[in-house]
Amino acid sequence: MGAVSRRSLLGMGVGAAAALGVAGCSASGQSDAEGQRVKNAAPARPKLIGDGSTADYGKQPNQPGAPERLEPGQTPPQFVIFSWDGAGEVGNGLFPRFRKLAKDHGAAMTFFLSGLYLLPEDKKHLYLPPNNKPGASAIGYLNNDHIRETLGNVRQAWLDGHEIGTHFNGHFCGDARTSVKHWTPAQWQSEIDQAMAFVTKWRTNTGFDDAEPLPFDYRKELVGARTPCLLGQENLLPTARKLGWRYDASSPGGRQVWPRKKQGIWDFPLQQIPFPGHSFEVLSMDYNILANQSKNSTKAPPANYPGWRKQAADAYISGFRRAYETNRAPFFIGNHFEQWNGGIYMDAVEEALKHIANERNKDVRLVSFRQFTDWIDAQDPRVVRKLQGMDVGQRPAGGWKSYLAEV
């Protein structure tokens, strides 16, 4: 494992979303019984909730079967989780592109929706961000057409079997008092309450009376998040635990090892992965790769694009291979719906997903964070502790059959 360079910018993964013009700040058909996806038809008459912005469509379609415990000596699956921060569609077709990619390859993903993307700008006074002026936001409000597109894509994503988490609202980064870095647990509660309101009251706020409701009860659906810029987790977790959330994906600089809990919540960090051509590692997110290639510029000389695209794809594939061939630690990848440097990072993610999907067998599962949480919560705690005892790139002593034979 190479040394980690300061240039990996561990706390900045999601951070420059607004400044860099991002709309979004981001599995599982296997052959065994657990991997079979359960297809449930949506009810003909779903029960509307509140003003009809959301509705109870019953059990989510296209989910894996009930998770099973590993048998003694059984090799653990290789989980890969692709996630998307912001999850707004601004007419560039990226949200539907990756929904289709996921469907084509039997994958589930997690979409961390920014609540503000469902609030019209002429209603921005309704947003009261902690330590900021009313209506302030470091990301832009969407126009009505893009709100409609976002609603349609979020709706279909859930029906396809994906998870809808939260990326909160205004995306305030940095070290200033206004940043999420300094928010208290009570302020996180306020931010979450407002994100919930924007998602569950979009019909009232937009006046749209011809759009279909989101097909889930968000108060039940929401079990995890990623904070803006990977900041503020320490004070978020007490609030998340009080709300009954099951995981948080906000830690920067994680390593490719089996996750542990923080304050009773599963901690799923972005991870340091091999960066081809360098002795240091890079965080498993598009922005961090960009920062190391073009020093935060989103429009570098196009002559660099082919090499950088390959380098980005190879970084993800290298991260996957290292885990798959050694400790089988779940691999977490974060992205934004962006078109930086000619869209090369979107192409790299697509190439990596196709590579993993085409190479996989029943041991590789492309899932959402929620689905992975279901699996790990179902395991024998003694087995989980054994898995957590393995370091990055460490193979099980004597092979899996021996290492997990008795716990």
- In angstroms, the CA 154 to CA 35 distance is 24
In terms of Cα–Cα distance, which of 81, 113, 86 is closest to 222? 113
- In angstroms, the CA 37 to CA 65 distance is 6
Is 46 a domain residue?
A: no
Backbone φ, ψ for residue 136 (5° rounding): -65, 145
Going through 59-190 in order, the beta strands assigned E by DSSP cover 63-64, 78-86, 110-113, 163-166
Q: Are 108 and 368 in contact (CB under 8 A)?
A: yes
Is 333 a domain residue?
A: yes
Q: Read off the tokens for 221.
A: 């659906």
Is 58 a domain residue?
A: no
Strands 63-64 and 281-283: unpaired
Domain range holding 232? 6-34+78-403
Would you write out the chain's pLDDT as a tens digit for each of its 407 residues? 333 333 334 333 333 333 333 444 433 334 333 444 555 555 567 999 999 999 999 999 999 999 999 999 999 999 999 999 999 999 999 999 999 999 999 999 999 999 999 999 999 999 999 999 999 999 999 999 999 999 999 999 999 999 999 999 999 999 999 999 999 999 999 999 999 999 999 999 999 999 999 999 999 999 999 999 999 999 999 999 999 999 999 998 899 999 999 999 999 999 999 999 999 999 999 999 999 999 989 999 999 999 999 999 999 999 999 999 999 999 999 999 999 999 999 999 999 999 999 876 779 999 999 999 999 999 999 999 999 999 999 999 999 999 999 77
Is 99 a domain residue?
A: yes
pLDDT at 27: 34
pLDDT at 18: 35
CATH number of the domain at 250, please: 3.20.20.370
CA angle, corner 103, sides to 99 and 108, nearest 5?
Answer: 75
Is 207 a domain residue?
A: yes
Give the global pTM: 0.91
For the chain, what is the domain count?
A: 1
Q: Read off the tokens for 182.
A: 């300094």
Is 226 a domain residue?
A: yes
Is 60 a domain residue?
A: no
Is 87 a domain residue?
A: yes
Is 165 strand, coil or helix?
strand
pLDDT at 37: 53
